Amino acid sequence: MRLAFAAALGSPLLLAGCGGAQSWLSPLGPNAAETLDLFRLTLWVSAVVVLLVGGTLLHALFARRRWRGSDRYRLLLMAGGGVVLPAVVLPVFLVQSLRIDWPFAEERPAELTIDVVAWQFWWEIRYPSPDGGAPIVSANELRIPAGVPVRFRLTTADVIHSFWIPKLAGKVDMVPGRVNYALVQADAPDTFRGACFEFCGLQHAHMAFDVIAMPPKEFADWLRREAQPAQPPATEEAREGARLFIESGCGSCHAVRGLPGAEGEVAPDLTHVGSRRTIGAGMLPNRLGALAGWIAATQQVKPGANMPSFNQLSGPELHTLSAYLEGLR
């Protein structure tokens, strides 16, 4: 009785947790909608099966003994529950799941293919260059054209991660030595939240990214801008910030295209870091103070990340360095 009461009281609270930015129950793209359709089908078919089995159990308990013990009854149960039911239900699930597009992302048509490489604990993103040159490297923020299917080629630089944008498509694992694909489409321009869905280490829960779906024309313009190298530092402060960036060794892990000495390939590309919404893979809003705090106390903000805390830098140095990064738009 108490259990039933607790369940009745608790279920609305539990269901309230089904909403929000990471809810796949309110899809905003056809691939996620397919997943929800499959879930609904599974739910209703399973409900019917539960009713059938429950009914049979009740019948077995309360039907007249003569009928219950008969061979015809046993045959009916075995043929019905063991042959007919699975023979109908399983093919329905199979056919329905084969109709879903996103697990077959490698073959299905897509407007463009974007590479995503997972790292502990951030995302490297490589867009195809519009003029066929080297890929345009970015990090931790994904931009896609809205209304068209986009294919993702998913790999990992270290351990197993999983790529998931709940409102847009199902999750796909990123496995060492393998290339997996995901198909993603946003119905309309919007901002979505993506996350890692495979426990990958200390900061697994802080491995998120924003997905920004833009009108296709705006996306094309943005990609052209993103392909440009960083603006040379124009002010005295920016020049000092760039000097600190190189002097402190940031450039051996991070790249800033166009800045000599900043060609690192094992940490997020910072060429246009100032234009991103967050830093640290969704950890902090991208503001000057947050940047300074992040650089000075990376291991306090995100323990286990591969970047050390640069707490040897003075306050004014942190300010100068952050101002330079913020200006990389």
> What does the binding site for ligand CUA look like in residue numbers (CB under 6 A)?
118, 121, 161, 196, 198-200, 204, 207
Residue closer to ligand CUA, measured from CB, 158 or 218: 158
Residue closer to ligand CUA, measured from CB, 28 or 207: 207
Q: How far is the CB of 207 from ligand CUA (least distance, A)?
A: 4
Residue closer to ligand CUA, measured from CB, 117 or 200: 200
Q: How far is the CB of 158 from ligand CUA (least distance, A)?
A: 9
3-state SS, the chain, equals CHHHHHHHHHHHHHHHCCCCCCCCCCCCCHHHHHHHHHHHHHHHHHHHHHHHHHHHHHHHHHCCHHHHCCHHHHHHHHHHHHHHHHHHHHHHHHHHHHCCCHHHCCCCCCCEEEEEEEECCEEEEEECCCCCCCCEEEECEEEEECCCCEEEEEEECCCCEEEEECCCEEEEEECCCCCEEEEECCCCCEEEEEEECCCCCCCHHHCEEEEEEECHHHHHHHHHHHHCCCCCCCCHHHHHHHHHHHHCCHHHCCECCCCCCCECCCCCCCCCHHHCCEECCCCEECCHHHHHHHHHCHHHHCCCCCCCCCCCCCHHHHHHHHHHHHCCC
Find where tokens 């940490």 sit.
267
Q: How far is the CB of 310 from ligand CUA (least distance, A)?
A: 24
Residue closer to ligand CUA, measured from CB, 242 or 279: 279
Q: How far apart are CA 165 and CA 261, in angstroms?
A: 35
Residue closer to ligand CUA, measured from CB, 121 or 127: 121
Residue closer to ligand CUA, measured from CB, 82 or 176: 176
Residue closer to ligand CUA, measured from CB, 114 or 200: 200
Q: How far is the CB of 64 from ligand CUA (least distance, A)?
A: 58
Q: How far is the CB of 160 from ligand CUA (least distance, A)?
A: 8
Q: How far apart are CA 190 and CA 75, in angstroms?
A: 57
Q: How far is the CB of 201 from ligand CUA (least distance, A)?
A: 7
Q: How far is the CB of 155 from ligand CUA (least distance, A)?
A: 13
